Amino acid sequence: MREIVLSIVVIAVFQTGFCQKMIYPQVCPGEEVLLPGKVDVSGSLLFPKHVQQGQPVPAFIFISGSGDFSYRSHFHTEADYTYCKELADLMLERGYAVFFLEKRGINHGGGNWRKAGFKEYAADAARVIHYLKQRPEIDPTQIGLMGHSQGGYIAQLVAAENSDDVALLINMVGPAQRVHQQVLFDMRNQYSCRGLEGRKLKFKMNMLKISLAVIKTSSHVIKPIFLSHVIRHDPAKYIPRIQCPILTVYAENDYMVDDISNTHLMTELLWNNNENHWIYTIEGVNHQFLRSELCYNWNEIDKTVHPELFNLINNWLDTIHQTSSASK
């Protein structure tokens, strides 16, 4: 019993860490947006240069992974990891506006990210879509989603539930597997990278499976643990319903998300339902698209995002636009 409790504690700590936590001051350019409601939704809206009246631009909404990480930290001048800023620069250069959705309870976001599930976050993103559709600077028919890690889970759900409002989807290391499968893969790699093997690793994994079963069947009791709100989530219920073009990018050395299993499953789920899907794996990079081995020390690796990610996005957008122009 003690081992089960310890495993649940480990899970509670682990599930705050899909994204590397940053400690830089929260600085971000653009327009600060606050959507008041039962739970306030906040974020930053960035526009490309030279937006002209009467010529609305397309837009992307970026949805981050889990934990108390904020996209804002990537915009600080002293930040060593600038993933979100680089994505914004790419999209702005291509003429897209970008809305970075803040998490619940972070900065001006209402609520608490630990006490909400994917459906609640999907509802927040849907509110942002509705908001952007009312902005005269935004083309209401050209609003896309970008989701990273857990944000990929959420973006898939939003695209499935709001098919008439989502034009494009970029899914970056967003799993196609169920949450509990992703957790097992993640924790096995974490244990292995700490040196556990053989019987010790097998014992830890057995305890983890029991702990996940406890959380799954007792989520109404274990509410403080974020995982209890999402443990039952199954993307297979939503991915086949995605109608817009979708780009999925996985990472070869991602110890959190299994690139091989998720590529196979994502392909299977989309094959007969959405012909406009592209799935790629970038070799030699981790969950944050940084060059590293499977096991690494965050403080010892280069924080430069692999350019292949941006090349894939650029080429995909070019293909989408060419296809769209040819069909007109």
How much is the pLDDT for 242? 97
Q: What order do you get walking across the sheet with 277-282 strand by strand?
A: 31-35, 41-46, 97-101, 57-63, 138-148, 168-172, 246-251, 277-282
Q: Could you give the domains of the chain?
A: 2-327 (3.40.50.1820)
pLDDT at 97 over 70: yes
* Mean pLDDT value across the chain: 87
pLDDT surpassing 80 at residue 53? no
Least confident interval from 178-187, 223-232, 241-250 = 223-232
Confidence of residue 79 (pLDDT cuts 50, 70, 90): confident
More confident residue, 327 or 126: 126
Residue 279 makes CB contacts below 8 A (sequence gap 6+) with: 248, 249, 250, 263, 266, 267
pLDDT at 228: 66
Give residue 21's pLDDT band: very low, low, confident or very high (50, 70, 90): very low
- How far, in Å, CA of 306 to CA of 213, rounded? 37
- Residue 189 and residue 204: Cα distance in Å, rounded? 12
> Is residue 225 very low, low, confident or very high in pLDDT (cuts 50, 70, 90)?
low
Average pLDDT (49-57) is 84
Question: 205 pLDDT exceeds 80?
Answer: yes
Q: Which residues contact 247 (CB under 8 A, 6 or more apart)?
A: 168, 169, 170, 171, 277, 278, 280, 312, 313, 316
Indicate the pTM of the whole model.
0.89
Mean pLDDT, to the nearest integer, of 244-266?
98
pLDDT reading at 50 higher than 90: no
Specify the range with the lowest mean pLDDT, choosing from 125-139, 218-232, 261-275, 311-325.
218-232
DSSP line for 98-141: EEEEPPTTSTT--S-GGG--HHHHHHHHHHHHHHHHH-TTEEEE
pLDDT of residue 22: 37
Q: Identify whether the C-beta of residue 241 lies closer than 8 Å to the C-beta of residue 217.
A: no
Contact (CB, 8 A) for 30 and 79:
no
- The listed range with the strongest mean pLDDT (25-29, 85-89, 213-217) is 85-89
Q: Is the dihedral of CA 287, 20, 208, 105 positive or negative?
A: negative
Residues 189, 197: Cα–Cα separation, whole Å: 11
pLDDT reported for residue 114: 72
- The pLDDT assigned to 40 comes to 92
Q: What is the pLDDT of residues 149-188, one digit of tens each?
A: 999 999 999 999 999 999 999 999 999 999 999 999 999 9
Cα torsion 162, 172, 264, 7: sign: negative
113 pLDDT tier (thresholds 50, 70, 90): low
Task: Please report how the helices 118-134 and 150-161 are oriented relative to each other, as an axis angle in degrees rounded to 10.
Answer: 60
Token pair of 120 as six digits: 């609640």
Sign of CA dihedral 64, 70, 73, 75: positive
pLDDT of residue 170: 99
- pLDDT band, residue 9 (cuts 50/70/90): very low
Give the amino acid at 43: G
